[in-house]
Amino acid sequence: MLYLIIAAGMSIVFVVIAIFAKVATYHVAPAFLIPVLWAIYFLRRKLHLRPLNYALVASGMLVHMLGAFGFYQKSPLPFSYDIFVHYYFAMVITPVLYHLLEGNFPMRPWQLMVTTFFFMMGMAALHEIMEYSSYLMLGEQAGMLKPTTSYFFDTQRDLTNNLFGTLTALLAMSIRRRMKRRALHVRAL
């Protein structure tokens, strides 16, 4: 039931944001984001997705969707909003990939960490290729990449922030796993 509440609630939020979007391309963003959100919902068991992880993935989509209010052009943060989006999204997707791999492939924890890292960075690279391809096919006005107004090293910065978000998540997961192991060891004494 919690998954359903997250999916339905975020779908409504995405539509409302699209209606009031100041950036024109976000008027159609729900047509892409909502199917992805619901596909994850329907695949949640196969993905070994926990409710918290689903909520975090949905919040990552929401953080991106808030760009509808011009945050990519004028960040409400003391640094580029794009930096935050790439860092945050990598941080919330990494545990999902880890649990997906853990639930489907017998690997040691360190192997899961390494495999998760490479899958996450591969997905980040594919996203950057898609961003560039949208620019080539649709032009700057409709495409995702805006070379005349964006940071010159946008792709490199995006991948670097994906890297930092991925490493942060993997480090947090490693610390959590060690703390659990220590707690079990203390109980056994």
Q: What is the DSSP string of 126-146?
A: HHHHHHHHHHHHHHHHHSS--
Q: Binning pLDDT at 50, 70 and 90, where does residue 96 land? A: very high
Helix axes 51-65, 81-104, angle to 10 degrees: 150
> What is the arithmetic mean of pLDDT over 128-135?
89
Reported pTM: 0.90
Report the percent of the chain where pLDDT is more than 90. 81
First to last CA, the chain: 39
Mean pLDDT, residues 14-40: 95
Quickly state the pLDDT bin for 90 (edges 50, 70, 90).
very high
pLDDT value at residue 161: 97
Q: What percent of the chain has pLDDT over 70?
A: 100
> What would the pLDDT profile of 64-73 be if each residue is shown by its tens digit?
999 999 999 8
Q: What is the pLDDT of residues 143-180, one digit of tens each?
A: 777 777 777 888 999 999 999 999 999 999 999 999 99
3-state secondary structure of 145: coil
The pLDDT score that the predictor gives to residue 67 is 95
Rounded distance between C-alpha atoms, residue 96 and residue 101, angstroms: 9
Other Cβ atoms closer than 10 A to 183: 10
pLDDT given for residue 68 in this prediction? 96
pLDDT score of 185 more than 80: no
Q: Is the predicted pLDDT of residue 187 greater than 90, yes or no?
A: no
- Kindly give, in sequence order, each residue whose CB lies less than 8 Å from that of residue 64, ignoring residues fewer than 6 positions away: 33, 85, 89
Q: Which residue has the tokens 């991106």?
A: 64
According to the model, what pLDDT value does residue 152 have?
81
Q: Using only the alpha carbons of the chain, give its radius of gyration.
A: 18
